[in-house]
Structure 1
Amino acid sequence: MVETTTFENAWLKDYSALCRGFLFTSPWRSLATQGCYTTISAPVHDAASLQGDFQQQLRQHFAAARKQGIANPILVGAIPFDVSQPAALFIPEAHQTFNRDDLQNALPQGISDLPEVRRRTPVPDHDVFLNMVADAVAATQRGELDKVVLSRLMDIVTEQPVDTATLMQRVIAQNPNSYHFHLPMPQGGALIGASPELMLRKQGRDFSSCPLAGSARRNHGDAQQDRAAGNTLMNSSKDRHEHKLVTDAMRDTLQPRSRLLSVPSTPSLITTATLWHLATQIDGEVQNEQENALSLACLLHPTPALSGFPHQRAQQLIQQLEPFDRQLFGGIVGWCDSEGNGEWVVTIRCGTVHGTRVRLFAGAGIVADSQPESEWRETGVKLDTMLRAFGLQ
């Protein structure tokens, strides 16, 4: 088990130092890393197999790290949407865990301004995205697949380089209940986000997941209307169908590797700063004690909440319709220690920052009765998380 150490408050306030390594916050366990013992860029396409090449190499890396005096080595970083692409993972020289509340309580009242925005460009633009959704709807209506997740980007150019520590500070302050991550990228820049969705948490033999599928915009100006929006979402046949596709697929995937598995038949409602979501709390116990957080996360990834169902046809349609490569967007980000414990969240409500260039990402699940304009608005609401952090919303 990872030892829990609370940072000294002075260290907590040094966000520049925090953001030189990997920073990950969670209500369960938060951590920050220092240094890099070794990087691992090999694709994780076989990481769900405990005897596959990736897991064998990971065990070797952990053993070598222990010989170098790293008492409890961990693997941290991000895995792309397409698991055949290189991962962005590394084993740090050191890490410390802390209570997220301590970090949030140490946030100073004043947060530095970010540079002015010179240009914002949607990728694709409004009309192209609506055509993408219409094509996807037609494919589902023809019976080619049940669901596909389509995404869009927002490219931003700023007057001066963006300080990622300042941006991360704003993301945490504005989305205190999300999972926060800041990952320095191998090619420079950083991946930053505030994800609402837990892919996989594991401690000992116990694991949990909380997939989200189906969302509705919140109304902060009227508490009664806000609650009504949540109730409408809960009673939406379209959103309930979309959510059931996800949970059924996850049940079928996890069942053969589980000694115990609980998947509620009815979703619950959860909120973020901008959205209501349908969520299902999945809990289980692994059959094989050698399972680790990464093997289970890669077994699930990508879920129908990220790609669609069936996955293979959904991924083909995504490659056909989306005019960009998702890379790390729509992937998973988190950590796993040498004892198999760890936590991975879905890489959504996020963006990459490299100097004066920022790229934000959002997606929406498309089913047979989806409306293109509605999906454009939904992805716009999801982009709000990062746009608000820039002071643009």
Structure 2
Amino acid sequence: MEATNTQLKASKELVISSFFVNAFRSNASIAVWRKPGSSKVESITDKDPDGYDGPLKDLDLLPPGFMIHPFNNSQQHPPLYIKASSYYSFHLNNEAPEESENTELPEVADVKEEELAAEIREFILKSQVKSTANTSTTTKSSFIATVTKAIEAINSGDLYKVVPAKIKHIELPEDFDLASVFLKLCEIYPKAFINCFYSEKTGLWIGASPETLIKTKGDEFYTMALAGTQKAKGEDPLKNAAWTQKEIEEQALVSRYIVDCFKKIRLREYSEIGPKTTVAGGLLHLKSEFLVDMKNTNFPQLGSVMLALLHPTSAVCGMPKEKAMEFLQRHEAFDREYFSGFIGPVNMNEETVLFVNLRCAKLNNKKTLLFAGAGITEDSVPEKEWEETEMKCNIIGQFIQTQ
């Protein structure tokens, strides 16, 4: 049920902090999010630490919940589905409440937000998801060496594009406030998918993803091709944007990849909008959008089918997909875990929308892990690609370090 105005007299930070404290105390899995362009913060919890144990292939058959899928499925980092056994939501702008049958009100009476924030911080400092994977900070020299090898592989004809990534560590501040960071991300990045989720298996993640992987609502299917990156400059960054041939080609490859997926399933009736420049988290990208009427094309299972074909997209892996994945497995010195996988609410309020897990951080003990990748083509300049990953890491990192 939507929170009433009386319930929202407690600060929004207090409400969000209570979500996580209640989940941590009961060893429950939890997901909290705000969709792009929305004012509604939504939260679900599932007290079953194993989550949903049924098949995840057919989205339409899943109970309402939240999907967490890794970049590369493994025993160590498996897909996880958080069932919406309890649901709670409120509007950031205090709009009138909506009707809902399921109510789960957080316990916020006679509690100070500072106390809850401190309890969350203590939980983060004591917790550490068991992992044998390398999570060392990626050095500039090693990243540039990988980019150089990628360019060589592209020039030799093995690849068209590949997307190497890196890890960057930052210290968790002593005054870190998870709810405050979440709300700040909602304020600064209104067009991003702001999310924070936790389970025993995944650990605690927070992010602001700019990229929709798939969306289905009623008979409508939607996906996008997002690539090319530059810093937003000036009072009107959209007018100031000037794209290089490298960035235009990089985005075109992602669009072609989506069209190729349509061709594989013999889908010819779709609408394509773009490419056009879009702002996401202080950065500019080129975006093309694709829409399909699933009823007119007689393809009600299009969401599940395209999800299987699209992931991992050329925007986070490369082209051809198999060779790009082989390159990354040889040259990336760390496990991406859930970075560049996909996340999002499924069958919630008759809508499924999954996002590529980008611009994200894993809150892991005293150190926070930031992740970022760069699309490499034959025209890439290694030094500039490193600078791009630094900008991407800063989208989340700046708010974690500054309270």
- Which band: TM-score by shorter chain? 0.7 to 0.9
The answer to whether structure 1 residue 7 and structure 2 residue 15 are counterparts is no
How far is the alpha carbon of 1:192 from its aligned partner?
A: 0.6
Q: Which residue of 1 aligns with 2:127?
A: none
Q: Which residue of 1 aligns with 2:211?
A: 197
How far is the alpha carbon of 1:227 from its aligned partner?
A: 4.7
- Quick check: 87-96 or 205-214, which moved more? 87-96
The answer to whether structure 1 residue 82 and structure 2 residue 72 are counterparts is yes
Q: Distance between the aligned counterparts of 1:303 and 1:31, measured in 2? A: 27
Identity of aligned residues (%): 25
Picking from 365, 375, 392, the partner of 1:355 is: 365
Q: Distance between the aligned counterparts of 1:42 and 1:326, measured in 2? A: 25
Summarize deviations over 1:306-336 as a string: whole Å, max 9, x none.
Answer: 1001100011111111110101001111021
Say whether the 8 Å CA contact 1:133–1:366 is kept in structure 2: yes
Q: Distance between the aligned counterparts of 2:93 and 2:306, measured in 1? A: 28
- Which residue identity is paired with 1:366? I
How far is the alpha carbon of 1:90 from its aligned partner?
A: 1.9
**Structure 1 stretches lacking a partner, 5+ long:** 63-72, 104-110, 116-120
- Quick check: 347-356 or 309-318, which moved more? 347-356
Q: Map 1:330-341; keep pairs closer than 5 Å.
A: 330-337=340-347, 341=351
Say whether the 8 Å CA contact 1:268–1:279 is kept in structure 2: yes
Q: Which residue of 1 aligns with 2:84?
A: 92
Say whether the 8 Å CA contact 2:195–2:206 is kept in structure 1: yes
The answer to whether structure 1 residue 297 and structure 2 residue 307 are counterparts is yes
Summarize deviations over 1:340-371 as a string: whole Å, max 9, x none.
Answer: 73001110000111332211111110001100
What is the DSSP-based 3-state SS (H/G/I as helix, E as strand, rest coil) of the residue aligned with 2:375? strand
Picking from 246, 250, 254, the partner of 1:238 is: 246
Q: Which residue of 2 aligns with 1:270?
A: 278
Q: Which residue of 1 aligns with 2:259?
A: 251
Say whether the 8 Å CA contact 2:221–2:302 is kept in structure 1: no
Q: Which residue of 2 aligns with 1:39?
A: 51
- Measured on the aligned residues, the alpha-carbon RMSD in Å equals 3.2
Picking from 267, 283, 287, the partner of 1:279 is: 287
Are the structure 2 counterparts of residues 8 and 262 from structure 1 closer, same or farther at C-alpha, using a change threshold of 3 Å? Answer: same
Say whether the 8 Å CA contact 2:45–2:82 is kept in structure 1: no
Q: Which residue of 2 aligns with 1:148?
A: 162
- Which residue identity is paired with 1:211? A
Q: Distance between the aligned counterparts of 1:334 and 1:6, measured in 2? A: 20
Are the structure 2 counterparts of residues 189 and 338 from structure 1 closer, same or farther at C-alpha, using a change threshold of 3 Å? Answer: closer
What is the DSSP-based 3-state SS (H/G/I as helix, E as strand, rest coil) of the residue aligned with 2:353? strand
What is the DSSP-based 3-state SS (H/G/I as helix, E as strand, rest coil) of the residue aligned with 2:270? strand
Say whether the 8 Å CA contact 1:162–1:356 is kept in structure 2: no
Q: Which residue of 2 aligns with 1:181?
A: 195
TM-score by length of 2: 0.77
**Structure 2 stretches lacking a partner, 5+ long:** 24-29, 96-112, 122-134
- Which residue identity is paired with 1:6? E
Q: Distance between the aligned counterparts of 1:341 and 1:179, measured in 2? A: 15
How far is the alpha carbon of 1:386 from its aligned partner?
A: 1.0
Q: Which residue of 1 aligns with 2:269?
A: 260
Are the structure 2 counterparts of residues 137 and 100 from structure 1 closer, same or farther at C-alpha, using a change threshold of 3 Å? Answer: farther
